[in-house]
Amino acid sequence: MNVLVLNCGSSSLKYQLIDMNTQEVLCSGLVERIGDPMGKIAHKSFPGSDKQKAVSSEEAFPDHGAALKAANVLISSNPETKVVSAVSDIAAIGHRVLHAGTVYREPVVIDTDVKATIRKFFILGPLHNPPQLIGIEAAEVLYPGVPQVAVFDTAFHATIPDYAATYAIPYSYYTELGVRRYGFHGTSHWYVAKKTASVIGKPFDKTSCITVHLGNGCSMDAVKNGVCVDTSMGLTPLQGLMMGTRSGDIDASIYAFLAKNKGMSVEEIDNLLNKQSGLKGICGMNDMRDIHAARAKGDKMAQLAVEMFCYRVKQYIGAYLAALDGCDAIAFTAGIGENDTDVRQMVCEGLGSVGVKIDKDRNYGFKRGEVCKISSDDSPVAVYVIPTNEELEIATQTVSVVASK
Ligand code: ADP
């Protein structure tokens, strides 16, 4: 059974075709700069499938529908790259959709009600929900009769109890506008939490863990008995941990302070906190590899940026250990979480008194791309590196929804 996974960003389309019998990726691709005068499509058909080919070309993609059409040619009809002989070889399509508020806790087959919900949440996902709806409607035309499933980024977080999700501002802002904590990276956290359960050999609904997703965007989840009970991001992906260019938690009054004292507009402050802050705001760089290279040469601001970054993750681990009242494991994932030994070491060192004992040799000896245990055997809370795979999670959820119909 082949599942096409589509992930429409504000100006991009990522896709993967996965054979769910073998979990083999048959092909994948990225269309960028959708809506610009000139865009780019890069496509790979993978070893093991009958074509092994990487192609890329530049052309204009006026919208996500045009991008999907171009991808479909490479997937199913271009003789150089195709990995299926007909569109009918695609059994289902899984769409990553950013926002459905708390409406859906599970993936759903897309119908007019689901599309109306996606539209309703344009206000909370203005950059993602509109292109994702365009992608869905384009896929309905290109793949008629193929079941389309929406996997919502917010679904895993829809279980967070009101006391953790509600902001302490007048409640009417929630009832009128939906202002509350929703969190993001939900599909990644869900995948990693389930994988953590299988690695420690416990049923998911008996597993409590903290998932630490550290990429350009960074977030953490507290998962109690397979149910998410807290997340670090908020109404938007700005809240929580320090990130590549995002500030994470700050005193909310900084907005008003900057407006009053620097004459900055709402847009300027939003841009400052989302695009010029975080690691970049402290040391001028947002790629962790560059920052470590600078630290190694004695750059004090790079050192401060890393210390700040790790301290914030450590604080959230403490908070989530308290929220969970019993935790089996902590799982690091995404670009930094999976690869950055120094960050993992700095985060976990000094947590022995709360049951987290990292093993330095295991941490530094980890194998890239593999599940690795990096805590000592006597650590009450195990610590793992678990590579994330959002596409596989979307495809898996798509299969389970289609099979249950
Ligand atoms: P996103 O999907 O959020 O764009 P990724 O999960 O790809 O981000 O993570 C990007 C981050 O991972 C960057 O800060 C990058 O520096 C960091 N990263 C990738 N590889 C390594 C590595 N080997 N060591 C340290 N950091 C790394």
Could you tell me the residue ranges of all domains in the chain?
A: 2-152, 202-390
CATH topology (fold) of 202-390: Nucleotidyltransferase; domain 5 (3.30.420)
Q: What is the mean pLDDT of residues 391-398?
A: 96
Query: Is 70 exceeded by the pLDDT of residue 49?
Result: no
Q: DSSP state, 206?
A: G
Q: Residues 61-69: what's their mean pLDDT?
A: 94
Size (the chain), residues: 405
Q: How far is the CA of 142 from the centre of ligand 1 (A)?
A: 34
Q: How many CA atoms lie within 13 A of 167 on its CB side?
A: 20
Q: Which residues of 161-187 are buried (b: 16+ CB within 10 A; e: fewer)?
A: eeeebeeeeeeeebeeebbbbbbbbbb
Measured from CB, residues less than 6 Å from any atom of ligand 1 are: 215-217, 244, 287-289, 334-336, 339-340
Q: Specify whether 328 is catalytic.
A: no
Assign a CATH topology to domain 2-152: Nucleotidyltransferase; domain 5 (3.30.420)
Q: How confident is the model at residue 48 (pLDDT cuts 50, 70, 90)?
A: low
388 CA distance to ligand 1 middle (Å): 12
Amino acid in position 239: Q
Check residue 163 and give its pLDDT: 98
Which of 292, 336, 343, 385 most suits a substitution to test ligand 1, by most atoms within 8 Å of the C-beta? 336
C-beta of residue 291 within 8 angstroms of C-beta of residue 307: no
Q: Which atom of ligand 1 is nearest to the CA of 368?
A: 23
* Distance (Å) from CA 334 to ligand 1 centroid: 7
pLDDT-above-70 percentage for the chain = 99
**What pLDDT, in 10s, does the model give residues 225-282?**
999 999 999 999 999 999 999 999 999 999 999 999 999 999 999 999 999 999 999 9
Give, using CA atoms, the residue closest to atom 27 of ligand 1: 336
Q: For 22, which DSSP code?
A: T
Does the pLDDT value for residue 389 go beyond 90? yes
Q: Considering only CA atoms, give the Rg of the chain.
A: 22
User: Can you point out the beta strands (E) in 9-141?
Assistant: 13-19, 24-32, 39-45, 53-59, 90-97, 108-109
Atom of ligand 1 nearest to the CA of 217: 3
Residue 15 in contact with residue 32, Cβ under 8 Å? no
Identical fold between 2-152 and 202-390: yes
* Mean pLDDT rounded to a whole number for the chain: 95
Q: Which residue do the tokens 């802050």 mark?
A: 277
Q: With cut-offs at 50, 70 and 90, classify the pLDDT of residue 50.
A: low
Instruction: Tell me the C-alpha distance between 32 and 22, whole Å.
Output: 29
Q: What pTM was computed for the model? A: 0.93
Beta bridge partners of 57: 41
